[in-house]
Amino acid sequence: MKICSRFLLLACCLSMAVFCLFSCKEKKEGKLEVVEKKYHLTQLSDNWWAIDATGKIKNVGDVDVKNVAVTGVCKSCVEIMARQKWFSSSQNNDIVSSEQKDVVESIGVGIAEASSFDQKDTLSYIPAGDTKFFTFTEFAYFYTQLPNQKPEMPPENELDILIESFLTVDQ
């Protein structure tokens, strides 16, 4: 009886170990990489300038991804509006999509009206190994003292593309 119970206990332990090893297979993950990026200077009015971005994102992971949110980051920009300095605006993060049109209409003429709240792009689907194009506008601003005074772009190493989030497609 003692030998039978030991054998039964050993068999149960071994079957649990085998079950755990086979159930813990590695989960496939999506991995994205920015393979191309370009920054453009856009004049919004006589004294207002903005930086827009375009580029390509490649899915270098094993699975397809969806709802890829991409935006731009200016590392040297200040957080508040200042003359003759590049600054970034986080107002769009605080305003939900359904309220954006109402905000633009209530503010009236100015930089907020020119802003189209396109400081990010959302790519709906990128298959594994595929590359998709992104574009978004106005992720950094510059206010000049004199009309039509074109500012210098921040150094390329101070601008970056950030993949904010994405979802893995279940297969």
The CATH number assigned to the domain holding 100 equals 2.60.40
Higher pLDDT, 119 or 17: 119
| Percent over 90 (pLDDT), the chain | 43
Of 29-33, 68-72, 104-108, least confident by mean pLDDT is 104-108
Q: Is residue 38 part of a domain?
A: yes
Q: Is residue 86 part of a domain?
A: yes
Q: Is residue 23 part of a domain?
A: no
Q: Is residue 15 part of a domain?
A: no
Tokens of 116: 């189209």
Higher pLDDT, 93 or 133: 133
Q: Is residue 6 part of a domain?
A: no
The DSSP line for the chain is -HHHHHHHHHHHHHHHHHHHHHH-PPPP---EEEEEEEEEEEE-SSSEEEEEEEEEEEE-SSS-EEEEEEEEEETT-BSS--BTSEE---HHHHS-HHHHHHHHHHH-SSHHHH--S-SEEEEEEE-TT-EEEEEEEEEEEEE-SSTT-PPPPPPGGGEEEEEEEEEEPP-
Higher pLDDT, 96 or 36: 36
- Compute the mean pLDDT over every residue in the chain, rounded to the nearest whole number: 81
Q: Is residue 89 part of a domain?
A: yes
Q: What is the pLDDT of residues 132-148, one digit of tens each?
A: 999 998 899 999 888 88
Q: Is residue 148 part of a domain?
A: yes
The whole domain housing 111 covers 32-168
Q: What is the pLDDT of residues 9-38, one digit of tens each?
A: 777 777 777 776 666 666 778 899 999 999
pTM of the model: 0.69
Is the pLDDT confidence value at 112 over 60?
no
Average pLDDT rounded to a whole number, residues 117-139: 90
How far is it, in rounded angstroms, from Cα 12 to Cα 140?
A: 63
Question: pLDDT grade, residue 51 (50/70/90)?
Answer: very high
Higher pLDDT, 22 or 65: 65
**Could you give the number of structural domains in the chain?**
1
Q: Is residue 27 part of a domain?
A: no
